[in-house]
Amino acid sequence: MKLKLNGWELGIGFSACHFLPGHDKCNRLHGHNYAIHIHLTGDLDDTGMVYDFVKLKRAMKTVADELDHCVLMPGKSDNVIIVVENSQVNVSALGKTYSFPECDVNILELDKISAEKLAQYAMKKIIGQLELGSNIQKIKVGIDEGIGQGAWASREL
């Protein structure tokens, strides 16, 4: 049996900006309105459910809240140099330099900030919040960069 939670319909999303150094268009600082989705595949448990919708939505919202209204930066990039000093985040990438207030930036343990990498990041964070029983076989987490355009990460459990 499969559970599906649609972030657009549930109002579970976030707005953030990022850039992709080296990409023709996306190397410019720009933003998206994102949504988070989950598909959970498993068998019914003793309660007659695959998993509690409330717990899934809470985990999705926690991730959305962490990323909302932030400048997302890749903390593990070889192309992006990030220096934090005096409450400022100074970022250099392929000849461009940015400076942001530290409170506006979320430095993620990723090498790039793409929908694909954000889907993997969100899946890891969501799995970390849930106690998934032996009845759960698979989780898929999607991140959309607008309606109709997104990426999915999945894991067999």
The catalytic residue positions are 26, 69, 145
Query: Alpha-carbon distance 37 to 35, whole Å?
Result: 7
E strand or H helix that includes residue 8: helix 7-10
* φ, ψ (nearest 5 deg) of residue 120: -60, -45
- Is the Cα dihedral 65, 61, 138, 6 positive or negative? negative
Looking at residue 17, its amino acid is C
Query: Alpha-carbon distance 40 to 154, whole Å?
Result: 10
Query: Alpha-carbon distance 119 to 98, whole Å?
Result: 25
